[in-house]
Chains A and B, each alone.
Chain A
C-alpha cells in the first residue's frame, strides 16, 4: 500500500476548510501550519483570476527529510507515509533545510520538527484525513496509489496528461499530485510575494530564527 493525495485545483474554491480542519485535528500552534491554502491573483484588472493551492507535505518516496534526519525521527510507515516521532527529534532543523516544499516547521511548543502526516493516527483507525472530510467540494482525493481501483488511481488515470507534482526536478518522487495546476500555482518563483497587508492578512516572514 502506498497512500497518496491528489488535489483537483479546478474544484478548490479556497474556503480553507481543510486548513482549519487540519489545525484543529492536529492542534497545530499559531504561526505554523501543516496544510495551508495559498491564494495567487493572476492578470491585470479587469482580466484577473484568483487561484487557490492547498500545500502540504508531499510524502515523497525519496524523501530528503528522511535521509537527512540524524536520528530517524522522520521515518517511513509501511503505507508510504513519512511520519515523525516527536519524542526522538532533536530539533536540528536539517529536515527544514532539506524539504524543497517548505512543508516542515519547528513546533514552537514542543521545539521539534513537525509536518503533515496525512493524519496517520486517523488512517490507523480506518478514517480519512481530516482535510479530506472537511472539503465541501471533494477537491482532496486520498487513497492507495498501488490499488488501481482506488479513487485516486482512477482520478490519475482519467486525467492523464494533466497530473503534476511540485518540483519534479528535485527527484523526490512525491506522493502528492495536482490536477489543473500550472506554474503560477505550483512554482513559488512564478509569483511575486509582496510583504505587507494584502487580502485579509499581513503576508510576512517569521522573525530570524524561524520560531518564537
Chain B
C-alpha cells in the first residue's frame, strides 16, 4: 500500500494547481433519487395489480401520475446539470452507444412514452385492460431505466468505489425501497392489512439488503483497492462520516425497526413514518456515495 509509505518518504505536494471540486453534486443525487421513485412505484404497481387485482384497481391513475411527475423531476435535474443544457438534443442526433448516458436517455424516453400511453389508457379511454398491457411493458423497461445509472457509475473508471454489480444491486434495491415507501404513502388506509403488510415487508427487506451491501463495502472495500480505502476514509472519521450514518439510519435501520414494530402492532402510522424516513434517508445515502469518490485527488 503506497499510502503507508508516507511516514517513510514524507512526500508532500508543495506546488500544484487547484483541483476540481465536486462536479456531480446534489443535482445528480436528485436525479437518481427521483428516478428510483418513478421506476420503483411502477414495479410495486405491477406487483399489487397482479396479486390483489380486486382491491388495488384504484391505484392505476395515481401510480401513473406519480411516476410521470418523478420521472420528469429526474429528467429536469438531468438536463439542468448539463453545462450546455440546450445541447441536450445532441444525445439523440449524435448518439454514442458505448455510453450509458446515451442508452439511458433513449430508454428513459421510451419509458416516458409508455407512461403517457398508460395515462391515456386509464384517463382518456378508461380502459383497464389496455392500461395493464402497457404496464407490463413499462415494468420491463423500468428495469434498465433504473439500472443505467449503475452502468454510468461503472463506466466512471476513475471512481474505484463505484463497482459493478454492486451498484446495479443498489439501484434496484433503491427502486424497490422508494417504490414501496411511495406506495404506502399513496395508498393510505385504502389498502387492506395484507397489502400494507406486503408493502412493509418489501420496504424492510429492500432496506436490509441495501444496508448489508453498504456495510460490506464499508468494512471490506479497503481490503481490495487502495483508492477505495482512501475514498472510504471520508466516511470513516472524515468529513462525510455523520452524513453517511444519518443516511444509513434513516434509509435502512430506522425503517427496518419501524416495520417490525408496525407488523407486531398492526400500526399503519408507523409504516408511514418508516416510508418517509426511507425516502429522506435514501437521498442522503445516495448523495454521500456520489460525492465521496469525487473528493479523491486523481493526479
Contacts and interface: CB of A to CB of B under 8 A. Distances in A.
B83 A71 contact: no
A184 B8 CA distance: 12
A192 B83 contact: no
A198 B14 contact: yes
A97 B82 CA distance: 14
A209 to B, nearest CB: 6
A98 B20 contact: no
Nearest to B103: A70
A37 B15 CA distance: 8
Interface residues of A, number: 66
A43 B2 CA distance: 15
A190 B9 contact: yes
B157 A112 contact: no
Contacts of B9: 42-43, 184, 190-191
B22 interface: yes
A69 B81 contact: no
Contacts of B90: 70-71, 88, 90
Given A44-B10, A93-B81, A202-B18, 14 more contacts: A40-B12, A41-B12, A41-B14, A68-B101, A72-B96, A90-B82, A96-B20, A97-B24, A102-B19, A184-B9, A189-B230, A193-B13, A208-B25, A211-B23
A36 B83 contact: no
B94 A105 contact: no
A201 interface: yes
A187 interface: yes
Interface in A94-145: 94, 96-103, 105-106, 111-112
The secondary-structure label for the interface of chain A is loop
A40 B102 contact: no
B83 A106 contact: yes
Interface of A: 14, 31, 33, 36-44, 50, 55, 64, 67-72, 88-94, 96-103, 105-106, 111-112, 170, 172, 183-184, 187-194, 198-211
A188 B299 contact: yes
A207 B20 CA distance: 8
Nearest to B19: A205
A79 to B, nearest CB: 21
B227 interface: yes
B83 A91 contact: yes
B265 interface: no
A-B residue pairs, 4 tightest by C-beta: A91-B83, A102-B298, A39-B15, A64-B157
A100 B158 contact: yes
